Every structure is written in C-alpha cells, then in structure tokens.
Structure 1
C-alpha cells in the first residue's frame, strides 16, 4: 500500500523508481529572485493496519540557491551534488549509522536525463534506470535493470493529459510478471514538489512527482488473464494554504476507510 504520492525521493533510496523535462511543468524558475515556498517536511500516515497506523517523516534541506541538498527519512539520509549548470550529478545514500550505502551518478543527453546508475561497493548490486521521452520532452517511461543483462527489468510507463499523468503502468519482470495500472484525475493547483529540480523529480518517479497538479481520484487496476480489472478507488480531499499549495491530503477508499494521510510543511526562501 505504500506506493502513494509519498515523497518519491525516499522510495528511490530503496528502489530507484522513475517532472517532465518540459519547462512549462517545472514551476517557477529556481533562480528567480522572488521568495518561493519550498517543501521542507512530509509526514505520512499509512493505514494498512487501521488499528496500528504507521507514520513516516521526511525532511528536505536546501542551499542558498534553493537546490535540494539533503533529505532524511526514517534515519536514512541522502545528499545531492550538482554540476555548474545546476543539473544533479551525484546522490549519496547513507545508512542509519552514517556510513555510505551507495551512490548514484546521472548521465544527460543535452537537457534530458538519460540514465542514473547506482554504484555499490559490491558491484553485483549495481543497477541502472534508463529514461525515455516524448516529443514534448516529457518522460514517458523508465526501465530499471538490476544486472548487466537486464534479464528481469521493471518498467514504468506514463500517459499524459497536458502537464499531468493520466495513467501510470508498472510492470515487474522475473519468474512471474506482475503489472498494475493507476488512473488519475487532478485539481487545478500546484503540487508540493513544484519548486524541486525537474531532474530530481524524474529520479523520484511516480505520477504525482511528475505531474503539475494534485490527485483527486486514483483508480488502481491489476491484470487478470491479460485483462485490466479495477480493484480499488481512492478519493483525495485536500486542504491548501494561502498560496494554494497542499498542507494536508487525505486518501479514502470507496468503502470509506482511510487509506493514507499526508501533511506538508514549507519554508520560504
């Protein structure tokens, strides 16, 4: 159930999942002299077990150029380095004891992020995510390879409606192939990740990070004998601050049971 609109950065720590490279979907220019609201904290409450909800807290820190330089979630930190053009060049992931777990390096073709490689002390654990784009510069698919042969790839494929992803399909290879699909509708307000570097939003993955606005309804389907069968509908209620950014999002299942809750905090910089 933890495949929500959670801070995708944190899920990337453990799985490298795959905003659009389209500047129209990037939000205000990061170099603008006008103060901006930057996402600084995400508190997520999961209701897999309603009697024992599970809470995670993620914090985000920035330098004086509004570049994300550090995240911390569940005791695990990640730090980010940039080249002289402002593109992310390296992410270092730390264990809870402060030792380095692994690092990732970013490769570009012009203004497009083409792949991210995770490098471990044990090279057998290395993995690569490769990205593809449409003519509008929007990232349309990512492929995770966990070995040089890419024998059991995991793929995410996205369909866009303007600056929002209307459908996300995820497929995991291996002995058995499993797929699920999520279809979304949106509000007309900016989502909490608006002012984060567009390449980091690609690295974060998930339709929420890659889209401009906020989910209102999420329909989840899985394949049964090759046919998509919808098995879950989540409706999101959203509270906004005076800048019309979400401060609380509550997802509720069709039966009225609470699915997930997010609380967002921001700093002005």
Structure 2
C-alpha cells in the first residue's frame, strides 16, 4: 500500500492537507538565523509486489529564506510562491514534458489556511479542499469537493494526542460510501518535515506531515456494515542521524514481510 509517510510527493496527491499554531517547530514565517537541516530527498521503496519492488525518488529545493520552492517526483514538478508574510500563495504543477498541468491558490482566515483551490484549464477538473481546526489551531478535518455543489465530498478527520494524530479516518464515495481508518503510535523524535512551512504541511495532508513525531505502528481498518475491522498492522523501525531526524524508516507487516522503506536526506542551510 502506498498511503504511508510521503504520499507520493508534496502537492501531487488529490488531498492537498498544521501542527498547532503555537508549535515551536512550525516552520513558518521567520526563518531562524541558525543553520537548519532541511529535507532534500526522499527515496521510497514499495513492496506491494515483493518480487518487483517499486522505487520513487522525490527532491526538494529551497530559497535562501529556507522556504520550499520546488519539488520534483516522477518527472513532475511543483513550484511554490509565497506572499510577503511567508505564507504560500500559489503552487504551479508541471507535467513531465514541462507544460503546466494546473495551479492551486491558497486562501487564509487570519493565520489559518482556510482552503486550497486547484484550477485547471478545463474547469470541470477544478477542486477545493477546505480545512477545519480545533481551539489549539490543529487541523481536525479536511473536505475535498470536486464539483461545484460538493455532492460527493471526500473527508479526512483527525483525532489528536498532544501534537500527534492518534487516529485518521478517510471517507469518500457517492452512492456507496467507503471508509478506512488508521491508528498510530509514535516515537519522541521530530519527523523529516519539521522545518517545512506549516501551511505546506497542511496542504500535503495526512497524519504524518500534520504530526510532530514519527510513526512506530500503524493499524489500518476498514468499515464493513458499519463496523470497523482491522485489516493490517505496519511496524516501523527507524534509524536517526546525529540530530535525531530519521534517515531510514522500514515498515513491516505483522508477518514480518517488508511493506515500505523510506530513505531521507537533508541539507544544512
């Protein structure tokens, strides 16, 4: 399964999805004068077919203010623009041939990201993700609308334990509704996305980028006739660098077989 830590790459997912607004590591407006380790490369190996593992490589580039300005994955590039306050204002997504696929615009309600709209040449493809927050400024849900009347929304909802998401539930579908849920436990180390702008992390979405620490266990369930049934357990083994950031994460199924491996590289800036 490919729905774990990196989600196929920033901004490429259909769900565009903060850590608490008072998080000391929110990676937002004012870059520290001290050098920081910034995530620069993610190599992901998927073992859906153990005989033929699939490898993807994603790279991240930054400007001299430590703002993420470009990502490349599978030949597709995402280019980020910011306003004077350091908030993302636009992301342009490019096809492998270098032509523009679509762009997204960001709308804010004060210091909170309210929604991200994807705009295509063919407006039938336009979509919007809207975010809701708790009193601590943490995202508690996102809603994806792919039609003007939002007739068949997709939703992600989150339950927190401190600065980490303990449970994430995804629901989608029209006439037939599908739901799955992941429950997580974590280590006490910062995750690789710590120093990326918090609004970009919201747009990226899902539990890993919205949480402070790293998964140790993920329990996956699906809803069958209104009852949650656990179908999968992934256990993660993590190697860290001298700064306590992950450099390799290996996920294994309950039977010990490989599920996924992530290799993280950083630059100092």
Counterparts of 2:135 and 2:152, CA distance in 1: 28
Structure 1 runs not aligned, ≥5 long: none
> Residues 84 and 27 from structure 1, CA distance in 2 versus in 1: closer, same or farther, beyond 3 angstroms?
closer
Question: Once the 2 structures are TM-superposed, how far is the Cα of residue 158 of structure 1 from its aligned partner?
Answer: 0.3
CA deviation vs aligned residue, 1:150-208 (integer Å, no higher than 9, x gap): 01100000000000000000001213110000000000000000000000000000100
Question: Once the 2 structures are TM-superposed, how far is the Cα of residue 26 of structure 1 from its aligned partner?
Answer: 3.1
CA deviation vs aligned residue, 1:77-114 (integer Å, no higher than 9, x gap): 00000000000000000000000000000000100000
Alignment of 1:88-99 (within 5 A): 88-99=88-99
Query: Tell me, what secondary structure is at the counterpart of 1:19?
Result: coil
Counterparts of 1:181 and 1:54, CA distance in 2: 25
CA deviation vs aligned residue, 1:101-141 (integer Å, no higher than 9, x gap): 00000000100000000000001110000000000000000
Query: Tell me, what secondary structure is at the counterpart of 1:3?
Result: coil
Query: Tell me, what secondary structure is at the counterpart of 1:13?
Result: coil
Alignment of 1:164-243 (within 5 A): 164-243=164-243
TM-score (norm 1): 0.97
Counterparts of 2:114 and 2:243, CA distance in 1: 34
Q: Is the 8 A contact 1:25 1:211 kept in 2?
A: no
Query: Tell me, what secondary structure is at the counterpart of 1:107?
Result: strand
Structure 2 runs not aligned, ≥5 long: none
Query: Tell me, what secondary structure is at the counterpart of 1:92?
Result: strand
TM-score (norm 2): 0.97
Query: Tell me, what secondary structure is at the counterpart of 1:24?
Result: coil
Which deviates further from its counterpart, 21-30 or 201-210? 21-30
Query: Tell me, what secondary structure is at the counterpart of 1:22?
Result: coil
Counterpart of 1:13 in structure 2 is 12
Residue 131 (1) aligns with residue 131 (2)? yes
Counterparts of 2:173 and 2:7, CA distance in 1: 25
Which deviates further from its counterpart, 141-150 or 28-37? 28-37
Counterpart of 2:41 in structure 1 is 41
Aligned pairs, number: 268
Counterpart of 1:26 in structure 2 is 25
Counterparts of 1:171 and 1:105, CA distance in 2: 24
> Residues 27 and 198 from structure 1, CA distance in 2 versus in 1: closer, same or farther, beyond 3 angstroms?
closer
Q: Is the 8 A contact 1:21 1:112 kept in 2?
A: no
Question: Once the 2 structures are TM-superposed, how far is the Cα of residue 7 of structure 1 from its aligned partner?
Answer: 4.9
CA deviation vs aligned residue, 1:16-59 (integer Å, no higher than 9, x gap): 34222423163466521100000000000000000000000000
Counterparts of 1:97 and 1:28, CA distance in 2: 32
Counterparts of 1:8 and 1:238, CA distance in 2: 20
